[in-house]
């Protein structure tokens, strides 16, 4: 086999961990979540349960359902253990919440039969954690993931280069990574229902139809995916600091700079796929006194408004002297991969009271976060293409007219916007 990638995904992750921890749940329909289903065991799926379904409906469909409020830190221990096993078999492993991509490129001589290695990993994971995983092997990460999807749960499938075309050609477009329900509907209007049929569209028409992602899909529907597997390196902290052009007591300027520094830091965190568990603020008065403080967050974040509201609170605690400021800085620390655990932490906070309580709308907070996340993703994209200064947000609007700008953003006096 040529260059290849192994993809693994834990079966019914949260629900399986609960079953592994409590033998009485073994073999029973189990759902983890509160308000809505985050994960349903395969026994529960037979009743039609799926992620995102309100628990009330889940109970109607399956009266014997056992509902468990989630335990995110425990799930993380299980996934880390599984990822550690994967790392013993691959030089580079890229991990997400319950998925990992192992790079086996260049390892043909060491692993002449990749399926045998995948079987060994699956066996070890089961023996050492009690969980089952599904594995897919393919020439690139997309094909590996698509392969594993077809054999869930507890399966193994390898798609050989000669089989690729037959494998993807007749699948519905929604099965192609990057095609969501909206795109599928749009393609449906053009009478395009299978991945093979997508190839009838030229590069230009896909771009006109879907924007830049259309170009990626043009390659993907042909089985091509050039994205490499890269373990994400995690810095200790992301710090953004600057002196003012003149020492100042003007709150608009200070707030504007604080916002701007925060946004630069969160922008970097998002680019690196990280969330912060701590926010810090540092100030230097013009007479040389320095103060610094940090705060731990209950829920890690990478969102501008959240980090800024913490940073502002910290700043207000620190800035108590009536002396002009010379320099300010914002730091994100306790960085961890943005692996999607946040959602459950919110479920936990809501669900801690009682499992039967009818929660008015557990999704309100989630929705506004999701909205901000989507908005920020768009802003990040625009900035990447047209320069950082192409969008000015929030309180950094105060800096317009006060500070000069170039493509890279505001011209700070002594910037440390290096990362
Ligand atoms: P998935 O891998 O999509 O689901 P799963 O592992 O429960 O089931 P399977 O892979 O066998 O289809 O997601 C992994 C975990 O992410 C899941 O156990 C719970 C969490 N999750 C949520 O919290 N909310 C969601 O909407 C989804 C889809 C998953
Ligand atoms: Mg899974």
- What secondary structure, in 3-state letters, does the chain show? CCCCEEEEEECCHHHHHHHHHCHHHCCCCEEECCCECCEECHHHHCCCCCCCCEHHHHHHHCCCCEEECCCHHHHHHHHHHHHHHHHCCCCEEEECCCEEEEECCCCCCCCCCHHHHHHHHHHHHHHHHCCCEEEEEECCHHHHHHHHHCCCCCCEEECCHHHHHHHHHCCEHHHCCCCCHHHHHHHHHCCCCEHHHHCCCCHHHHHHHHCCHHHHHHHHCCCCCCCCCCCCCCCCEEEEEEEEEEEECCHHHHHHHHHHHHHHHHHHHHHCCEEEEEEEEEEEECCCCEEEEEEEEEEEECCHHHHHHHHHHHHHHHCCCCCCEEEEEEEEECCEECCCCHHHHHHHHHHCCCCCCCCCCCCHHHHHHHHHHHHHHHHHHHHHHHCHHHCCCHHHHHHECCECEECCEECCCCCCCCC
Q: Which ligand is nearest to the CA of 17?
A: 1
- Identify whether residues 244 and 379 lie together within a single domain: yes
109, 137, 158 — which closes off a domain?
Answer: 158
Q: How many domains does the chain have?
A: 3
How many whole angstroms from 6 Cα to the centroid of ligand 2?
Answer: 15
How many whole angstroms from 290 Cα to the centroid of ligand 1?
Answer: 46
- Identify whether residues 192 and 138 lie together within a single domain: no
Give the pLDDT confidence score for residue 384 in this predicted structure.
Answer: 79
Task: Flag the least confident range among 137-151, 231-245, 397-411.
Answer: 397-411
71: domain CATH number is 3.30.70.270
- Identify whether residues 301 and 179 lie together within a single domain: no
Give the pLDDT confidence score for residue 398 in this predicted structure.
Answer: 86
138, 158, 178 — which closes off a domain?
Answer: 158
Tell whether 163 is covered by a domain: no
Give the pLDDT confidence score for residue 349 in this predicted structure.
Answer: 43
- Identify whether residues 121 and 25 lie together within a single domain: yes
Tell whether 113 is covered by a domain: yes
Give the pLDDT confidence score for residue 108 in this predicted structure.
Answer: 87
- Identify whether residues 307 and 348 lie together within a single domain: yes
319: domain CATH number is 3.30.1490.100
Give the pLDDT confidence score for residue 3 in this predicted structure.
Answer: 66
Tell whether 318 is covered by a domain: yes
Tell whether 289 is covered by a domain: yes
- Identify whether residues 138 and 90 lie together within a single domain: yes
Tell whether 418 is covered by a domain: no
pLDDT over threshold 70, residue 40: yes
189: domain CATH number is 1.10.150.20
Q: Ligand 1: residues whose CB is within 6 Å?
A: 9-14, 38-39, 51-52, 97-98, 152-153, 343-344
Exposure letters 243-277 (e unless 16+ CB within 10 A, then b): bbeeebeeeebbbbbbbbbbbbbbbbbbebebbbe
Tell whether 417 is covered by a domain: no
Range of the domain at 199: 170-220
Across the strands, what pairs with 295? 279
Tell whether 416 is covered by a domain: no
Give the pLDDT confidence score for residue 404 in this predicted structure.
Answer: 79
80 catalytic? Reply is no
Tell whether 390 is covered by a domain: yes
How many whole angstroms from 11 Cα to the centroid of ligand 2?
Answer: 5
Q: Which ligand is nearest to the CA of 37?
A: 1
Give the pLDDT confidence score for residue 347 in this predicted structure.
Answer: 46
Give the pLDDT confidence score for residue 332 in this predicted structure.
Answer: 96
pTM above 0.75, yes or no: no
Confidence of residue 418 (pLDDT cuts 50, 70, 90): very low
Q: What is the pLDDT of residues 315-353, one digit of tens each?
A: 999 999 999 999 999 999 999 888 765 544 444 444 444
- Identify whether residues 286 and 361 lie together within a single domain: yes
- Identify whether residues 131 and 90 lie together within a single domain: yes
- Identify whether residues 153 and 177 lie together within a single domain: no
- Identify whether residues 81 and 188 lie together within a single domain: no
111, 132, 158 — which closes off a domain?
Answer: 158
- Identify whether residues 257 and 376 lie together within a single domain: yes
- Identify whether residues 243 and 273 lie together within a single domain: yes
């Amino acid at each position: 086999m040529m260059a290849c990638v192994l993809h693994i995904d834990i079966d019914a992750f949260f629900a399986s961990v609960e079953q592994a921890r409590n033998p009485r749940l073994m073999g029973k329909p189990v759902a983890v979540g509160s308000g809505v289903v985050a994960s349903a065991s395969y026994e529960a799926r037979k009743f039609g349960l799926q992620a995102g379904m309100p628990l009330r409906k889940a109970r109607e469909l399956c009266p014997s359902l056992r509902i468990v409020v989630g335990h995110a830190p425990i799930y993380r221990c299980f996934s880390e253990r599984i990822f550690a096993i994967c790392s013993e078999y691959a030089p580079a492993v890229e991990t997400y919440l319950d998925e990992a991509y192992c790079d086996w490129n260049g390892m043909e001589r060491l692993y002449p039969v990749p399926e045998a290695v995948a079987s060994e990993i699956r066996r070890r994971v089961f023996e050492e954690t009690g969980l089952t995983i599904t594995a897919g092997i393919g020439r690139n990460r997309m094909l590996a993931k698509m392969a594993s999807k077809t054999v869930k749960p507890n399966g193994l499938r390898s798609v050989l280069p000669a089989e690729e075309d037959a494998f993807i050609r007749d699948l519905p477009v929604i099965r192609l990574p990057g095609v969501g329900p909206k795109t599928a509907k749009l393609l449906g209007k053009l009478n395009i229902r299978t991945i093979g049929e997508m190839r009838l569209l030229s590069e230009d028409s896909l771009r006109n139809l879907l924007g830049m992602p259309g170009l990626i899909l043009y390659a993907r529907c042909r089985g091509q995916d050039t994205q490499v597997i890269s373990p994400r390196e995690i810095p200790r902290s992301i710090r953004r600091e600057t002196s003012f052009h003149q020492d100042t007591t003007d709150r608009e300027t200070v707030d504007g700079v604080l916002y701007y520094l925060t946004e630069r830091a969160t922008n970097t965190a998002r680019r690196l796929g990280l969330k912060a568990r701590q926010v810090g603020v540092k100030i230097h008065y013009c007479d040389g006194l320095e103060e610094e403080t940090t705060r731990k967050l209950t829920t890690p974040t990478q969102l501008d408004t959240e980090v800024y509201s913490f940073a502002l609170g910290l700043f207000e605690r620190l800035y108590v002297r009536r002396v002009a400021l010379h320099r300010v800085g914002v730091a994100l620390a306790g960085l961890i991969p943005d692996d999607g655990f946040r959602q459950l932490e919110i479920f936990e906070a809501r669900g801690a009271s009682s499992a039967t309580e009818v929660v008015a709308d557990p999704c309100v907070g989630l929705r506004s976060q999701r909205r901000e996340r989507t908005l920020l993703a768009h802003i990040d994209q625009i900035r990447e293409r047209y320069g950082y200064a192409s969008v000015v947000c929030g309180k950094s609007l105060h800096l317009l007219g006060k500070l000069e700008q170039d493509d890279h953003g505001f011209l700070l006096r002594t910037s440390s916007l290096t990362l």
